[in-house]
Structure 1
Amino acid sequence: MSVKIGLIGLGMIGRDHLKRFRNVISGAEVTAVCDINHAAADAVASEYGVTAFYDAEEMINSETVDAVFICSIGPVHKAQILAAFNAGKPVFCEKPLTPTADESREIIDAEVKAGKRLLQLGFMRRFDPGYQALKQAIDGGELGDIMLIHCAHRNPSVPESYTLEMAVNDSATHEIDIIRYLLNENIVSVRVDKPRKKTSRALPHLQDPLIVIFETESGVRIDDELFVNCHYGYDIRCEVIGENSIAALNEQQLIATRSLTGNAQHIAQSCMERFATAYDREVQHFVNRISAGLEMSGPSSWDGYVVALVCDAGLASLNDGEKHDVVIPQQPALYR
């Protein structure tokens, strides 16, 4: 029996997931869509032959929906997640869980009260073949003791609506989660450095690039270059420096070309292109858990809460340039 999905938010990522459900995912179908933009909801509903809603809670409580797929903006996530919990329906939520750690804690408390995991969070990099291979290399011990990790998060450009705070809350958030995934330990401090020079392509309100320095419980130091107007493409890098050897993501392109002008490889232009396989895998994982009658697994509400704590420390450092400690409460048994 096909899982009936109600999808909230019809922006870029929401529409990408709609195509994924239609063309890639098995065992589920989108039966309802919701957006505060009535025209957008009506147009998508007509195109996909589904029901349009303009109020998220009404859609969540509809009998036409078995599970809720949240692709709306971060500030409305908390209300939508709690409404889905109250309806007893499993939730997939694109990151961030919520914009602040305090709001995320409310999600944790509600899920713990429910007594089972109801939510999978959209940290898709955990499902990426490259990152999974890096984790296998680390866990297998072949790299030896891990000392450093070098990361880069590069976008070709960002819109005028992109704020300096979003460099931490929207961009670095992926590295924060993947560091915890790769090393199986928490980040204990954050410092955001603003280089004196910035790209001429950055709008006046942005400092671009930034460098974020993280340190983990065991003392692993991570530097993360955030360059969101790099111009040439969407380029995600991760190099793990071990005592015995080094492992890094490769370009992960299907082909390379050779011609009179030299060697060339295609460079992805968006996260949807670069992480298409990871997006497919995370959504299929969500559907498979529901179909099997199992509680949610994968990136959790707790992961979202901890990332929000690190982001809050990062935002404080963005303001004063100082190193800020990250204090993480005891993890509830539900998430262990």
Structure 2
Amino acid sequence: MTVKIGLIGLGMIGRDHLKRFQNVITGAQVSAVCDINQTTADVIASEYNATAFYDAEEMINSELVDAVFICSIGPVHKTQILTAFRAGKPVFCEKPLTPTADESKEIVDAEVKAGKRLLQLGFMRRFDPGYQALKQAIDGSELGDIMLIHCAHRNPSVPESYTLEMAVNDSATHEIDIIRYLLNENITSVRVDKPRKKTRRALPHLQDPLIVIFETESGVRIDDELFVNCHYGYDIRCEVVGENATAALTEQQVISTRSNSGNAQHIAQSCMERFATAYDREVQHFVDNVRDRREMSGPSSWDGYVVALVCDAGLASLKDGAKHNVVIPQQPALYR
């Protein structure tokens, strides 16, 4: 069986996934693409031998589509996901699940009512070899009891459309999910600190960098540096400090060179470059589940909902600088 994919949203990440389906993924083909920009949809459809749609609902309900791949902007995710659920079609959705926790809860409720998992959420770091190795180290005995985690999320630059709130909802959201994945426990509080100094490269409406402090159920303290105009590259860091030892992501360089100028390492310039393997693995995981008619697995709607709850607390702290607690309802049996 070749899974027919309908892909919504032809921006940067949507186009990256199109190349992935064409060159890497097995068992699927993109049969339909959808974008509100008709010219873009027509051009991309012609390039990938797909059918162009300009309305997401029409594409989702088309017989040309077996599974839905959502790469559109966050505010339209809920409508598109619920449409796919009603059509009985499995969904891959790029993060965030929705911009607010209340909207994410609607998706969780709809999926619970359906009685099976229909969605895989695009938290690709769970599929990254480095983070998987970190989890193995944590789950083993060598590190001992986990005390602290130090994270950094650095972008070379961000566009003028990037807002201060996006530092939480779009950047820190990855660390929020990976903390839960690594430790297998929830975050219970969030505080966002604004250093007095900010980079001269930041636009006037941005405070950059930020420091976010999380605490988990067992008391693990995590600091997350968000520096989205660091200039030199896309640099993701994570060090886990245990009672007996530490473990950390390596530099994950793409290539290193040696010359008469010295040693040099290429630094990734985007998330698509740094996490290419993780993206490949998560998409193949989705396709395999659809092809084999298995229930969805991997990052879930519930994970998206819990991350949204933490983000909401982070946004509140962004406004007042105080620590905000995160209250998480009982997890439905569907997601256990």
Is the pair's TM-score, using the shorter chain for normalization, greater than 0.5? yes
Aligned partner of 1:286 in structure 2 is 286
Aligned partner of 1:95 in structure 2 is 95
Aligned partner of 2:197 in structure 1 is 197
Deviations 1:100-156 (A, max 9, x none): 000000000000000000000000000000000000000012100000000000000
Deviations 1:150-181 (A, max 9, x none): 00000000000000000000000000000000
Mapped to 1, the partners of 2:37 and 2:62 lie a distance apart of 19
Mapped to 2, the partners of 1:29 and 1:168 lie a distance apart of 34
Residue type of the partner of 2:69?
F
**Deviation (angstroms), 1:254:** 4.5
Deviations 1:204-257 (A, max 9, x none): 000000000000000000000000000000000000000110000001224322
TM-score (norm 1): 0.99
Q: Secondary structure at the match of 1:151?
A: strand
Residue type of the partner of 2:93?
C
Mapped to 2, the partners of 1:243 and 1:260 lie a distance apart of 42
Aligned partner of 2:249 in structure 1 is 249
Residue type of the partner of 1:315?
L
Aligned partner of 1:6 in structure 2 is 6
Aligned partner of 1:311 in structure 2 is 311
**Residues 41-190 of structure 1: pairs in structure 2 closer than 5 A:** 41-190=41-190
Residue type of the partner of 1:227?
F
Q: Secondary structure at the match of 2:206?
A: coil
Mapped to 1, the partners of 2:255 and 2:266 lie a distance apart of 8
Q: Does 1:262 align with 2:267?
A: no
TM-score (norm 2): 0.99
Counting aligned pairs with the same residue, the percent is: 88
Mapped to 1, the partners of 2:159 and 2:275 lie a distance apart of 21
Q: Which runs of 5+ in 1 are unaligned?
A: none
Q: Secondary structure at the match of 2:99?
A: coil
Mapped to 2, the partners of 1:21 and 1:210 lie a distance apart of 36
Aligned partner of 2:207 in structure 1 is 207
Mapped to 1, the partners of 2:153 and 2:99 lie a distance apart of 20
Residue type of the partner of 1:197?
K
Count matched residues.
Answer: 336
Aligned partner of 1:23 in structure 2 is 23
Residue type of the partner of 1:314?
G
Q: Secondary structure at the match of 2:62?
A: coil
Mapped to 1, the partners of 2:160 and 2:244 lie a distance apart of 44
Mapped to 2, the partners of 1:194 and 1:2 lie a distance apart of 50
Mapped to 2, the partners of 1:203 and 1:262 lie a distance apart of 35
Mapped to 2, the partners of 1:36 and 1:255 lie a distance apart of 38
Q: Secondary structure at the match of 1:36?
A: coil
Calculate the aligned-residue CA RMSD, in Å: 0.5
**Deviation (angstroms), 1:260:** 2.0
Mapped to 2, the partners of 1:34 and 1:254 lie a distance apart of 33
Q: Secondary structure at the match of 2:32?
A: strand
Mapped to 1, the partners of 2:142 and 2:316 lie a distance apart of 37
Q: Which runs of 5+ in 2 are unaligned?
A: none
**Deviation (angstroms), 1:50:** 0.6
Mapped to 2, the partners of 1:284 and 1:163 lie a distance apart of 32
Aligned partner of 2:216 in structure 1 is 216
Residue type of the partner of 2:225?
E
Residue type of the partner of 2:323?
K
